[in-house]
Structure 1
Amino acid sequence: MAAVLALGLATAVFLTTRGGPAPADDAGPPRRALFLGTLTGHKGPVSALAFSPDGRVLASGGADGTVRLWDTATGKQKALVEHDQPVLQLAYSNDGRTLVGISGESEFVGGPLWLADPATGRVRRTLPGTYVTNVAFHPRNGSFAVADETGIVFTYDAEDGSMKDQIPVAGPTTSVDGLRYSPDGAWLGVSAGALVRLWDPRTVTSAPRTELTAPEFTKIGKRFTTFSASPVVLFSPDSKTVITEGAMDGCRLWTTSGDVRTSACSGAGVAGAALAPDGRSLVTFGTGRRTVEVWNANAGRKTFTYRGHLGDVTAVAVSPGGDLVASGGADRIVRLWQAPGLGQGAAPQPTEGG
């Protein structure tokens, strides 16, 4: 493992996971070739990362206004597209036919949303407006959700960009900081101000089904959650557990009913996170830190640390197969790391306490 970490400070080389093809008595298929090392080219901090659904391409967006597409098998840059403003968000549609992005001056002052060709990154349609949050794709109906700075969630068709709905989910002075659909499509998690609400996407115009309220604030009669202005809203693969950023702790796990709470990533301030496909491993980075941490979400225990960035880590993503972790930094570098043990597995299960 030390050899893998050393790649973060040296010229990247081509490797295969676990030394190449699986032995003949291994029941699983041979692991595909992966590039592990540094991807260079951005002229400013890396601000967004997204893996294609098949894991063969990594899209990176930067404060320099560029979107770069990287081949995860060779590390070669496949495409480069320049935008007028910094790239704030990137996401692939579930079928891989569309790359959606948001450009803008900052995460607080967003800008237009655009739909691009996933093979070239070339924009095929731009949607005017000022969008500020994560792009959240519905798992089944071919739409995605995004919010503007006035607390309105918009849903669009991922194929042609036509608007499907617009729903006010927060007050006009409260921006939406994070969005996520659950994998089964039954929930839309919305982080706005100091509260996370869980909505039924079919009836989002009515009251939310669940509000996640932290126990330490409940005891003193206040209605606050564990964080303020958090972009972290994640669902477990079985859609039964919600993960948010905490104020009293690094992360917190909830049931979708909101009545069981568990702390994770204890003592670590979390600025961004991604849940691995195993549903148990949480990959995080913190403000002002140059490392990426992997946590056992069930136990709240740190299991691994990636080191090598020469500036603060600013973005993180896990490949759909769980075999790669990508991180971007203020050092203008994208790094690809081998991801030990982040395969398919059970979902995180919240327990009493925390």
Structure 2
Amino acid sequence: MSSPADLPPGGEDPAPDHAAALALLRERLRLAHLHAGEPSLREIERRSGKGVSHTTAAAVLKCQKLPRWGQLELVVEALKADPKEFHTLWLTVRTVPSVEAKPSFAEAEKEGFDAPDAALALLGHGRSVFAVAWRPDGLLLATASYDKTVRLWNPDTGQQVDSRRRARHTGPVVSVAWSADGHLLASASDDGTMRLWSPEAGKQIGKPLIGHTGPVAAVAWSPDGHLLASGGSVDGTVRLWNPDTGQQVGEPLTGHTGAVLAVAFHPDGHLLASGGSVDGTVRLWNLDTGQQFNSRRRTRHAGPAYAVAFHPDGHLLASASDDGTVRLWNPDTGQQVGEPLTGHTGAVLAVAFHPDGHLLATAGRDGTVRLWNPNTGRQVGEPLTGHARSVSAVAFRPSGHLLATAGTDATVRLWQLTAEHEASREHLEEQIGCLRARVAVLRRERNELAAHLRHRASS
């Protein structure tokens, strides 16, 4: 148990030091555990859906070293505490200086603790990995590969989840997407089909969805889960499907003069974006009318548009292209916003917004992953390197603190974002100010709780 002397001093110091910040996190975990009724380690393991083992839960609660955020988050949720508060505490420990040597990546992996910029490699696919998608609760990661399989992974252990439940196509799998409730997984393949899978049941649901006249290059699920969208790499059409019946909805959406390589739903579900290869255009479709939206102001790259993604609030659309640029567009007007984002030395193959919209991740044929501030168009931090070949997919964990990437080197990598990536210096200073105030509140809460326990013990 921590004593008051272990807590950071309030008010007069310019910032808490590392040891004091870690002590505050440890004390807050103790209080959360106490408020939750002091559940056993096995119970925490059960509540986390076995996302953390009882031994990992013990290490997190002891908090002698800074745990990985993903493990801490699961323990906090099992204790029914506030993840946002704990992430602020965790980020402060990561940010303030430490006089202790940081563990090597190998030590961090062995002990279950975080090492900055370390990328955990998920190995299992035998060929290029083309797509990654997080289940909405962030506890599973789905990957799709040229080896004709879709695989599921536990992001905190890096292990496949019941490899016997691996989903298979008869051709390379190039795209994958989760339903909003996380119960179904859709996959698109060069075999000309889309398939729906139940990861829980470990089997395909219904018959393959067939309609495109060639390979299916992309699949996306609408926010309400009532529609699937797909893009054809031969017929150049976008098609909509009812996932309950497996039937097409309406007529194919036509307009691209070549393959449709990407599709993405607007957060409100009424617009759909698609990216084309030959024509290099990004098109918007009004799903209420089935017509192109703002077709006179069609957005265009100088090469194929490989990926599209909407900002979480829908006010921006990002597209990535063979021309080596990422462009931001206003979906209401079709106008480009700011200058193209340049930095990749080859084609940009994937793009994804952070869940809170403050970062944009891109991946390219140059083997790098880059992070950008979409408000300024500036790159954030150094490129993330680790893949041996092209990086074909990027996706942020729904909590926002982990980035998954996949490449033609047959690996999937998980990146823990550094403090530089997660917050600006000004934002960190604001957080530290809030933490000082929180220290006083925690002290008062601890004293009140201690008094209550003494009273209960004496009565």
CA contact (8 A) 2:305 2:322 kept: no
The match for 1:100 among 170, 186, 190 is 186
**For the residues of structure 1 that align with 2:407 and 2:135, how far apart are their CA atoms?**
20
Report the TM-score when normalising by structure 2. Answer: 0.61
Change (3 A) 1:321 1:211: farther
Query: How far apart are 1:343 and its partner, in Å?
Result: 7.0
Q: Which residue of 2 aligns with 1:140?
A: 224
Q: Which residue of 1 aligns with 2:84?
A: 28
The match for 2:265 among 176, 181, 186 is 181
Aligned residue runs from structure 1 range 41-80, under 5 A: 41-80=124-163
Identity %: 31
The match for 1:169 among 217, 233, 254 is 254
SS in 2 for 1:67: strand
**For the residues of structure 2 that align with 1:290 and 1:260, how far apart are their CA atoms?**
27
Q: Residue 16 in 1 paired to residue 102 in 2?
A: no
Change (3 A) 1:114 1:188: same
CA contact (8 A) 1:136 1:181 kept: yes
CA contact (8 A) 2:176 2:186 kept: yes
**Aligned AA for 2:160?**
Q
**For the residues of structure 2 that align with 1:136 and 1:34, how far apart are their CA atoms?**
34
Q: Which residue of 2 aligns with 1:40?
A: 123
Change (3 A) 1:242 1:18: closer
Query: How far apart are 1:261 and its partner, in Å?
Result: 2.8
Query: How far apart are 1:29 and its partner, in Å?
Result: 4.8
Aligned residue runs from structure 1 range 201-350, under 5 A: 201-204=287-290, 206-213=291-298, 225-245=300-320, 250-256=325-331, 257-268=333-344, 269-287=347-365, 289-304=366-381, 305-340=383-418
CA contact (8 A) 1:245 1:270 kept: yes
**Aligned AA for 2:376?**
A
**For the residues of structure 2 that align with 1:264 and 1:298, how far apart are their CA atoms?**
12
Report the TM-score when normalising by structure 1. Answer: 0.78
RMSD, aligned CA: 3.2
**Aligned AA for 1:178?**
A
Change (3 A) 1:160 1:250: same
**Aligned AA for 1:119?**
E
Note the alpha carbon deviations across 1:278-330, whole angstroms, 9 max, x for none: 2131111111x222111112222111322222333222211112111111122
Change (3 A) 1:120 1:264: farther
Query: How far apart are 1:190 and its partner, in Å?
Result: 2.3
Which of the pair is proportionally richer in strand?
Answer: 1
Query: How far apart are 1:91 and its partner, in Å?
Result: 0.5
Which of the pair is proportionally richer in helix?
Answer: 2
Q: Residue 153 in 1 paired to residue 205 in 2?
A: no
CA contact (8 A) 2:275 2:281 kept: yes
Change (3 A) 1:41 1:152: same
Unaligned runs of 5+ in 2: 1-55, 57-66, 91-111, 424-459
Change (3 A) 1:117 1:255: same
Change (3 A) 1:49 1:247: closer
**For the residues of structure 2 that align with 1:28 and 1:266, how far apart are their CA atoms?**
33
Change (3 A) 1:210 1:262: farther
CA contact (8 A) 2:392 2:405 kept: yes
Aligned residues: 313
Query: How far apart are 1:250 and its partner, in Å?
Result: 1.6
**Aligned AA for 1:236?**
H
Structure number with the bigger relative contact order (C-alpha 8 A, sep ≥ 6) is 1
Change (3 A) 1:117 1:247: closer
Note the alpha carbon deviations across 1:93-148, whole angstroms, 9 max, x for none: 111121000121xxxxx521101013355322312343433212222251111122
Query: How far apart are 1:69 and its partner, in Å?
Result: 0.5
In our comparison, the structure showing a higher alpha carbon Rg is 2
Change (3 A) 1:176 1:330: closer
Q: Which residue of 1 aligns with 2:192?
A: 111
Q: Residue 91 in 1 paired to residue 186 in 2?
A: no
CA contact (8 A) 2:261 2:275 kept: yes
